[in-house]
Amino acid sequence: MAKPVSIEVWNPNGKYRVVSTKPMPGTRWINLLIEQDCRVEICTQKKTILSVEDIIALIGDKCDGVIGQLTEDWGETLFAALSRAGGKAFSNMAVGYNNVDVNAANKYGIAVGNTPGVLTETTAELAASLSLAAARRIVEADEFMRAGLYDGWLPNLFVGNLLKGQTVGVIGAGRIGSAYARMMVEGFKMNLIYYDLYQATRLEKFVTAYGQFLKANGEQPVTWKRASSMDEVLREADVISLHPVLDKTTYHLINKERLATMKKEAILVNCSRGPVIDEVALVEHLKQNPMFRVGLDVFEVTELGFSSFKHISTQDRATSCPKLTREWPIYDNSCCIRMSLT
C-alpha cells in the first residue's frame, strides 16, 4: 500500500484534473493548463522515482490527464488505473518513450504525448562537452588540482587526446545525433563516420560544404562516410557517441564483444539511454584498457549513477553528469511547452 502523496494544487476549482508526477521548471505550463480550466496537482514528494503504487495513489478516483517522467513505468497497470479514473491523456516529459507501453495506452483509449525536438541542441552540447572532457581529461585534472596535488608542470601530466583531424563516430544520426556531429565536425575539424537506418542527407551536405570551405582556405578538408554497419563505426572512430532509441534491438547494444572491436584509446559517449550499454562489460573493458575513456549522462540504473560502477578505480576515466544538465528553460518557449501538453 503506497503512502499518501504530498501535492501542490493550482486552480482548485478547475473543471479538469491534471496531475504532474514531478514539479517542472517555471509556471507557464501551469498557466496554460489553467487557461483551459484545469485543476493542476503537482506531486511534491521528495522521492527521485515514484513507484507504480505511488502514481496510482496520485491518480486517485478522478483524473483527466497525467504529465509523467521517463523514469516511470507507464504500462498496463498505470494506464488501466488512469482509464478507471476517466483519464484521456498522458504526456511523457521526454523525447523518447521507451518507458511507455503505447499498445496499453491504445487499449484504454488514452492519447500519449512526448516532447520531440525540445532538447536537441542542449543534449548535443552535453554530448560534445562529455567528449571534450574525456579527451582532455578535464575531470581528472580538476580533481587533482582540488586535492592540492599540483606542485608544478610536468611534460606527461594529464596529456589528453587531440580531436582535430580524428574521426567522430555517430550511431543514430537523428536530430540529436546530427546536431552533435555538426558541433564536432565544425568545432574540432573532425572527420565523420555515422550509422543510421536512414541516410542523413542534410548532415552529409553540411560536412561536404564545410570541407569545401576549409579546402578553399588552405586547410585539410573534413570528410564524411555513411557506414554499412554499426560495427564499422566502432572499429574506425576515435570518438563514438550513441544516439539510438532504446528498444529490444538496442538493449546492451554496446557489449563485451563490441567494446573489444573499438580502438584501445577510443572515447565512448552515451547521452541516449543507460541500458544501451552493458555496464558490467564496460567496467571490465575500462579495467583492461587504461587509455579507454567514457562520458556518460545516463546509466542502467538511473538513481545509482556511478555507484553502479562497482570497480571504483575505473571512475577516473569515466566522465559523468546527471541528465538534468541537458535542461534549458523550456518554460520560456511557449511553442515547446505546447508540444508537451497537446
Give 18's pLDDT tier (boundaries 50, 70, 90).
Answer: very high
Last residue of a domain, one of 67, 99, 115: 115
Within a domain: 283? yes
Cell of 191: 572527420
- 90 is in which domain, residue-wise? 7-115
pLDDT per position as a tens digit, 68-107: 999 999 999 999 999 999 999 999 998 889 899 999 999 9
| Same domain? 155 vs 48 | no
pLDDT per position as a tens digit, 100-128: 999 999 999 999 999 888 889 999 999 99
pLDDT per position as a tens digit, 177-203: 999 999 999 999 999 999 999 999 999
Distance CA 296, CA 87 (A): 36
| Same domain? 86 vs 146 | no
**Is the whole-model pTM more than 0.85?**
no
Residue 82, CB half-sphere, CA atoms under 13 Å: how many? Answer: 31
| Same domain? 102 vs 194 | no
| Same domain? 62 vs 204 | no
Give 5's pLDDT tier (boundaries 50, 70, 90).
Answer: confident
Within a domain: 168? yes
Mean of pLDDT values over 20-29? 94
Residue with cell 553502479: 308
What end-to-end distance do the CA atoms of the chain give, in Å? 32
Within a domain: 147? yes
Last residue of a domain, one of 115, 133, 148: 115
Cell of 161: 587526446
Number of domains in the chain: 2
pLDDT per position as a tens digit, 231-258: 999 999 999 999 999 999 999 999 999 9
Distance CA 138, CA 223 (A): 28
**Average pLDDT score over the chain:** 89
| Same domain? 62 vs 133 | no
**Taking phi first (over 0 means left), then psi (-120 to 50 degrees means alpha), and beta for anything else, what does residue 13 get?**
alpha
Residue with cell 610536468: 154
Q: What residues contact 149, with CB distance under 8 A and at least 6 apart?
A: none
| Same domain? 104 vs 179 | no
- Residue 319: the pLDDT is 60
209 touches 177 (CB < 8 A): no
| Same domain? 95 vs 175 | no
Q: What is the full DSSP assignment across 81-115?
A: HHHHTT--EEEESSS--TTB-HHHHHHTT-EEE--
pLDDT per position as a tens digit, 310-330: 433 344 556 655 444 444 444
Within a domain: 186? yes
CATH of the domain at 222: 3.40.50.720
Instruction: Supply φ then ψ for residue 136, to 5 degrees.
Output: -95, 5
| Same domain? 158 vs 264 | yes
**How much of the chain, in percent, has pLDDT values that exceed 90?**
74
